[in-house]
Structure 1
């Protein structure tokens, strides 16, 4: 990118809030690990009462049953896998606590999840952002088209999911 004065920093040289990016990622992984332990113990201590809470009611009993079935079937492996599924990432850990998944295995699975998911998503997002900034420095119009296309795709997926989610409810209402 000569001539623009813009250079993409190497991941080992990049910084955020004045800290090296790798350190921010490491702190993020530790913080997420801590949050996962809190989720587990909240589920463990509150048990079934958690399902009647505002959060449990909002999620819905039928959805919680689906998560319970995943945890019963896969145990700690489900805890690791939930890092890669956006909605499960923050609902499955407290269900694991309610179901009393083996805590040592839970700790291992959540640690492995933090050690893999946080760096992959952080550096992946870093790459996407700097890739788009590089594109914008070469061709602002192309970058704008890419941004609009990405937003349109996101809006399309959101609308599609909402319609798909509403369809079973509509069938129940008309029956």
Structure 2
């Protein structure tokens, strides 16, 4: 196990830092592509294969979040699994201020990437150090982590099933507050007044 720990490169070495920096730049570039795809296609993107795969409920949630928080929602989406690659193109559809979008996405890349990357590295190093001292304790820690991950996945799947089951009831809502048929309505309003969302 000590040999394995020694084989893991130093997180500050060029062999690690260069791919990390390239990945961070790539993520920033992807966010700009997402924005302009949403900006150019507008609400039509909701009927695309991407929009159908994501689903009306997630799109509506993203619309509400962007409409309320503007560019701040772009920064926040980095920290929310499952939203990081959905909300940016919704922000483009709603035509929030692009300079603010660029600033928020840059800040997100500069904070989320190091925290997650080096945080994960720290966990790996810590686990290897524990395994060097006590393989049994390291095995127990790994088992607990796997069990916790499995529990989170089960809860997430149960929540998604509950949303799908409740979907028809929301669609039948006469007020239309939770109707999945309304996907893109906020986008249409946003596109009618570009730059209104900050």
TM-score, scaled relative to structure 2: 0.76
Change in Cα spacing, 1:53 to 1:122, as seen in structure 2 (3 Å) is same
Counterparts of 1:109 and 1:21, CA distance in 2: 26
Query: Alignment partner for residue 99 of structure 1, among 90, 94, 98?
Result: 94
Change in Cα spacing, 1:39 to 1:171, as seen in structure 2 (3 Å) is closer
Counterparts of 2:65 and 2:166, CA distance in 1: 26
Unaligned runs of 5+ in 1: 14-18
Question: Where do 4+ consecutive residues of structure 1 move more than 6 Å?
Answer: none
Query: Alignment partner for residue 77 of structure 1, among 55, 72, 80?
Result: 72
Unaligned runs of 5+ in 2: 170-198
1:37 aligns with 2:6: no
Query: Alignment partner for residue 60 of structure 2, among 60, 65, 76?
Result: 65
TM-score, scaled relative to structure 1: 0.86
1:143 deviation in Å?
1.2
Q: What are the within-5 Å matches in structure 2 for residues 3-152 of structure 1?
A: 4=2, 6-7=5-6, 11-13=11-13, 19-152=14-147
Paired residue total: 167
Alignment partner of 1:96: what SS? helix
Write out per-residue CA displacement over residues 77-113 of structure 1, whole angstroms, 9 at most, x where no aligned residue.
Answer: 1101111111111000000111111111111110111
Change in Cα spacing, 1:37 to 1:12, as seen in structure 2 (3 Å) is same
Q: CA RMSD in A?
A: 2.1
Counterparts of 1:60 and 1:173, CA distance in 2: 13
Which structure has more relative contact order (CA 8 Å, sep 6+)? It is: 2
Q: Is the 8 A contact 2:10 2:16 kept in 1?
A: no
Counterparts of 2:166 and 2:89, CA distance in 1: 31
Alignment partner of 2:96: what SS? coil
